[in-house]
Amino acid sequence: MMQYVRYINLLLMPILFYSCISSRFGDEDSDTISEEQSFMVTNFKDKSLKEWERGKEFVCVVDELPVLLESRKGNQDDCCSLKGAILRYKGLEETQTWNGVESCVVYNDSSGLEYIYRVLKSITDILSTDFIPLLPELVPTDYIAKADSLLKGKVLYVKTSNWYTVDGEEYRGRKLIPVVIKEIIAGNKIFPLALIFKTEEGEEAMVYTTMSASQYMSQYSTFDKLFTFTNPRDKYSQIKDEVWQLITQSQVTQGMTKNECQISLGLPDEVSQIPEYSGLRERWIYKTGTYLEFKDGLLVKFRLM
C-alpha cells in the first residue's frame, strides 16, 4: 500500500510543479502596468490614416519595393535600393473599378516618383475607421525621432542577451546590466526601431524593438520586454555577486537555486522528475538542447547549448 501511495505521489509531483511554474509566470504578466509599459502607452499611440497630415515622412527599411506598394511607373525594377529612402504621404485618391470602388494611399519620394497602396474601400469608409496601411517596411520618421528624444543619453538596463552589432550581426551579449542609449534609428520590417547603446566597458551594440503593443511578435520584442528603467540587481540583492555575474552572461554553475537558474536561462520548455534511491531529481529541458538537473532545490548537473 505504501509503495502504491509513493507511486501516485511521483505521478502527481510533475503536475504540481507545472502549476507552480505557471503561477509564477502568471504573476509576471499581471494586470499591473509597469513603468516601461506606461512609457509606451503615454508616448507612442499608433496613428490611423485619418490622423496623418500630408507630407508625413516614412523611411524605407528594405532594399526592395514593399510587396503591397506599387510604383506609379508600373516597373518595380526602377524602384530598387529603396533602403534609407524617405517617402512622404501625399494623400488619398478614389477611383471606380469594374468590381467596385477602390482607393489609393499615395506616397512620393524626393525625386517626385509616386507609390500607391491600394485599398478596396471608399475614402469615406477609410476615414471613418482606424485604418492603417499594412506597410511594416515604412517606419514613420516622427516615431523614430520621438523615441530618440525621450531615451537618448539615458541609462537603461537591458533584459536580453540577444544583441546585434551596429552592422546588424547577431551575437550573444549580456543582460541585466546598465547601458547608455546612444541613438535610436530605423529598425527592420519586423521591429521598427533599433536602439544603439554602450556598456560601462565601452562595448557598443544594438537591439531591435517596438514601442507598439500591437506590433507583430510584440510579446517578445516590445520595449518593456527588453529594457527596464530600474536596476534589476536591487530586486535580487540576496544573490551573491559571483552568481549574479554568471546570470548576466546567461550561465549557470553547480549549487545555483532554481530561481537563480530561471533568471539566467528563463523558464524551461519541459520539466520531468527522475526517481532515485534517495528521492527525486528534477530535470529542466530547453528547446535549445540545454538541460539542468536539480536535487534538493540546487543545481547538480547541467549542459548548456
CA 88/CA 107 separation, integer angstroms? 5
Which residue range is the domain that position 228 belongs to? 35-43+142-234
**Contact, 43 vs 211, CB < 8 A?**
yes
**Backbone torsions φ then ψ of 17, nearest 5 degrees:** -65, -45
Containing H/E element for 194?
strand 193-199
Mark whether 207 and 195 lie in a shared domain.
yes
Mean pLDDT of the chain: 87
Q: Are strands 170-172 and 204-209 parallel, antiparallel or unpaired?
A: unpaired
CA 234/CA 157 separation, integer angstroms? 12
* 193 falls within a domain: yes
User: Minimal CA–CA distance to 195: which of 240, 231, 234, 155?
Assistant: 155
pLDDT band per the 50, 70, 90 thresholds, residue 125: very high
Give the three-class secondary structure for 226.
helix
Question: Which residue is listed with cell 492603417?
Answer: 132
* Longest pairwise C-alpha distance within the chain: 86
Q: Domain ends where: 131, 151, 184?
A: 131
Per-residue model confidence as pLDDT tens digits over 218-233: 556 899 999 999 999 9
| Percent of the chain whose pLDDT exceeds 90 | 76
Total domain count for the chain?
3
Mark whether 243 and 223 lie in a shared domain.
no
Domain CATH for 258: 3.30.1450
* 14 falls within a domain: yes
pLDDT band per the 50, 70, 90 thresholds, residue 75: low
Mark whether 171 and 226 lie in a shared domain.
yes
Mark whether 39 and 66 lie in a shared domain.
no
Mark whether 75 and 159 lie in a shared domain.
no
**Contact, 139 vs 57, CB < 8 A?**
no
* 127 falls within a domain: yes
Q: Domain ends where: 100, 131, 162?
A: 131
Question: Which residue is listed with cell 530561471?
Answer: 262
CA 225/CA 215 separation, integer angstroms? 13
Mark whether 151 and 183 lie in a shared domain.
yes
- Full-model pTM: 0.81
Q: What is the pLDDT of residue 3?
A: 42
Look at residue 1 and tell me whether its pLDDT is greater than 80.
no
